[in-house]
Amino acid sequence: MTHFTEGEWVRLSDAKGRKHNVRLQAGLEFSTKKGQIRHDDIIGRPEGIVVESSLGGQYQVFRPLLSEYVVSMPRGAAVVYPKDAAQIVTMADIFPGARVVEAGAGSGSLTVYLLRAVGPTGHVGSYELREDFAETARQNVEQVTGPDPETWTLTVGDVREVVAEPEIDRLILDLVDPWTCIPLAAERLVPGGVICAYVATTTQLSLFVESLRAEGGFTEPVAWETIQREWHLEGLAVRPKHSMVGHTAFLAMARRMAPGERSLEKTRRPAPGAYGPDYTGPRPPGVDEPDPDVI
């Protein structure tokens, strides 16, 4: 049984489900609507205790789950929500020992999931353009992993210019313009490797997917989104909750073909108008430019 120690984070929750994340420090108190909670009443005690505030309020005390920590961690950039991180780890098949490059470290939320998935024999290389975002990500990741994890490197710079990994098993892109990293993927991804992009808008999604098709050295891309809805549970009053985590981002993924091989072209015709005169993005093989004389 491990007991709470000074410096670690705990999660307090009351009977109404209100939650607070607190970093323990001897001698301090945490203020709630129901009075003060002394940190010294928690330090040295086991997980799962109930503590009482100065005004009689009761709170359960646990270490936060990773899914709880990442949505409340200090933010520079927006965090990748747990529902999307789970999809990336599962669908992109992040395995123990994998060599993963993450372009766009953001606040470090996805990074900690990737580090857990690659295990002690893998490696995650995170690249972040902004130094302030990188510093926030470093602090958040090290809060979970401890200082200077051996399986992680964080580089401030443009991944397209400073990438250090000669071979990559998985390339995860959380960028405004992930299609600009496709040449990098073509050069560094091993055959069978996975490229996965996390994008917010349909325009970004279309440009990324069509750029993959136009490059030709990747399998037919797939794309999806995940919507999370909790349920209210009370006796026979079992129903969906009124609030939900709806659209956060789209995920798009493809695999690297062997050197010199091209993906099989789609055998069905594109939908009418899919690549009409209003479409300005890259065109996959076999799709011609529209005839300007045809209305």
Per-residue model confidence as pLDDT tens digits over 239-289? 999 888 888 999 999 999 999 899 887 776 777 777 777 787 887 776 777
What pLDDT, on the 0 to 100 scale, is given for residue 244?
83
Q: How many CB atoms lie within 10 A of CB 204?
A: 20
**Tens digits of per-residue pLDDT, 187-246?**
999 999 999 999 999 999 999 999 999 999 999 999 999 999 999 999 999 999 988 888
Averaged pLDDT for residues 104-111: 93
Domains 9-64 and 69-255 share a fold: no
**108 is annotated as contributing to ligand binding:** yes
Q: Identify the CATH assignment for 9-64 out of 3.10.330.20, 3.40.50.11890, 3.20.20.70, 3.40.50.300.
A: 3.10.330.20
Q: Is there a binding annotation on residue 128?
A: yes
Report whether pLDDT(128) > 60: yes
How far apart CA 111 and CA 137 sit, in angstroms, is: 8
Cα angle 108, 22, 19; round to 5: 90
- The domains of the chain are located at 9-64, 69-255
CATH code of the domain made up of 69-255? 3.40.50.150
Strand positions, DSSP E, the chain: 9-13, 19-23, 29-32, 35-38, 49-52, 58-62, 99-103, 123-128, 152-156, 168-173, 189-199, 222-224, 231-234, 237-240, 250-255
Helix 109-118 / helix 131-145 crossing angle, nearest 10 deg = 50
Is pLDDT at 171 greater than 80 in this prediction?
yes
Q: Single out the residue of 174, 169, 180, 175 nearest to residue 256, CA to CA.
A: 169
Residues 95 and 163: their CA atoms lie apart, in Å, by 21
- 84 is annotated as contributing to ligand binding: no
Going by pLDDT thresholds of 50, 70 and 90, the confidence category of residue 290 is low
Instruction: Tell me whether residue 158 is annotated as binding.
Output: yes
Q: Is position 260 annotated in a ligand binding site?
A: no
The pLDDT of residue 1 is above 70: no
Residue 157: pLDDT over 60: yes
- The mean predicted confidence, pLDDT, of the chain is 91
pLDDT at 294 over 70: no
Q: Is 126 annotated as a binding residue?
A: no
Best mean pLDDT range from 30-34, 71-75, 266-270: 30-34
Query: Is residue 109 a known part of a binding site?
Result: yes
